[in-house]
Structure 1
């Protein structure tokens, strides 16, 4: 009888450990690369993009981790909007595009839900020079789940992704508060508005950090999640920064394809591109 009871207990322990391990790997796979996955880097310079117009926008959507289904709809929407607004939009997933000669032809670079380690050290240095010399950066959604070991990138963003809502609804609707109604990226927004998205929790709040301006804040009490107070009640979700002569705009919005047709979110992103590129 005792042996049978021991077997049952051991079986339960093994089952719990297996479920816990599977859950850990699943949560990890939602965002970062799995530990045994090696990132892929491009080092051979791609074809020359040629002359770029005065409003050059480079959209970079490389993923060395989880890949969002919203990337392709987002790219199509930004290309269509850019054409209507006179932008010269180029899109790439080739990190070798990040060299001084190519980057200097653009006004702003958009990291469209990039994930993982996407650039070599040399490419990172070229991007640093681009920003510090006056280029613009726009990070959308998992751009904060990118380049954890690049200290300059972390300082540029002000923080990094930590985790996100998983329970009971992966993409709940939540209330967003507009904190900077006079900013060019938020003038069209109501004081409070709702959106369905995958709500990122960050390693720390960016509020109060030097040169960072919070644009939008998530109302954590407006949705049910596994971590109802994950950011301790202070949950910025969009903000700006400046680095050298460059302008930085980041938004945690963008997990769902519907973001890029949303009457509030899409104009916010578009205005972020124009603000960062100083169009």
Structure 2
């Protein structure tokens, strides 16, 4: 078997073979190369269980720097340093402070790349809707060394629109990256693995409002935890820029503007019959939990919108699992 795999790799020019048989059909089989040169997947042997000090209080670091588009729920850009003053518009940061307090965690927050050079004091590092080149070279090195020391990483929403040109980070996300999304709308999140610490308290199906990211590459070698049921949203809202003129009659609200010309190139990869929104994996010695959910400010607020309680419970369980306070990716 090993010899056959070696010969197949040689035939492919020494590059890793695409993973076939992905959920949702063959459309997902060749959306990227899943080999990032690290131990990754659901095998706990990929975790570096190094000796470490006993935890007296769990500490988490929230990073929300945007070097490109900025989600409204992040509010005005933060000042330099750790824990700068927050404005009323900084909903994500303020609500994460509340969530940390409710769970007895110490939390720091920052958008300053200089604060990302030493992560060793944190049990979990959380990226929420960061964008583009959010880390400099020193920060990239520190994040990689943090993961290799058995660190915990949580990626939320536009963390998938971040560091596109750093393959290590794409692998960290589970061999996945943001491609595009349709209009924000209501849909049903379906839990496909209810045994994880992040999903064990959730109903199997719950209503939520989000952008429902499409991903290229498609995540591979991960444990899928939740999906969006595409049949649960209004198909009339599937139109995008480049689709040509809309049909006659009343239009659904909040449609994107239509381009003058229909698109002549492929725009959306689709996900076949399986559109994941949350998963977990071991990566290069550390633990990673990722979700594409979290577009709206009200998703982070207490009683903010339908599904907010479920989303926040999932996020709390995720953070607990990557930092070792609950079983991980089981």
TM-score calculated relative to the size of structure 2: 0.64
Counterpart in 1 of 2:111? 93
Q: State how far apart, in whole Å, the 2-side matches of 1:110 and 1:220 are.
A: 28
User: Residue by residue, what CA displacement relative to the aligned partner does 1:5-25 show, whole Å, maximum 9, x if unpaired?
Assistant: xxxxxxxxxxxxxxxxxxxxx
Aligned pairs (5 A) from 1:143-162: 143-157=159-173, 158-162=175-179
Counterpart in 2 of 1:56? 59
Q: 2:295 aligns with which of 255, 258, 266?
A: 255
Counterpart in 2 of 1:21? none
Check conservation: 1:205, 1:235, Cα contact below 8 A.
Answer: no
Counterpart in 1 of 2:180? 163
**Which structure shows the bigger proportion of residues in helix conformation?**
1
Aligned pairs (5 A) from 1:259-270: 259-260=299-300, 261=302, 262-270=308-316
Check conservation: 1:56, 1:89, Cα contact below 8 A.
Answer: yes
Q: Structure 1 176/113 Cα, relative in aligned 2: closer, same or farther at 3 Å?
A: same
Counterpart in 2 of 1:222? 232
Check conservation: 1:238, 1:250, Cα contact below 8 A.
Answer: yes
Extract unaligned runs of 5+ from structure 1.
1-51
Aligned pairs (5 A) from 1:1-279: 54-71=57-74, 72-99=90-117, 102-157=118-173, 158-165=175-182, 170-206=183-219, 209-210=220-221, 212-223=222-233, 224=235, 225-226=238-239, 230-260=270-300, 261=302, 262-279=308-325
Q: Which has the higher contact order (CA 8 A, sep 6+)?
A: 2
Q: How many equivalent pairs are there? A: 219
Counterpart in 2 of 1:11? none
Q: State how far apart, in whole Å, the 2-side matches of 1:111 and 1:98 are.
A: 12
Counterpart in 2 of 1:49? none
Residue 273 (structure 1) shift: 1.0
Q: Secondary structure at the match of 1:264?
A: helix
Q: State how far apart, in whole Å, the 2-side matches of 1:67 and 1:107 are.
A: 26
Q: State how far apart, in whole Å, the 1-side matches of 2:186 and 2:294 are.
A: 13
Extract unaligned runs of 5+ from structure 2.
1-54, 75-89, 241-267, 303-307, 326-330
Superposed CA RMSD in Å reads: 1.7
TM-score calculated relative to the size of structure 1: 0.75
Check conservation: 2:129, 2:157, Cα contact below 8 A.
Answer: yes
Q: Secondary structure at the match of 1:137?
A: strand
Q: State how far apart, in whole Å, the 2-side matches of 1:107 and 1:80 are.
A: 18
Q: State how far apart, in whole Å, the 2-side matches of 1:97 and 1:199 are.
A: 31
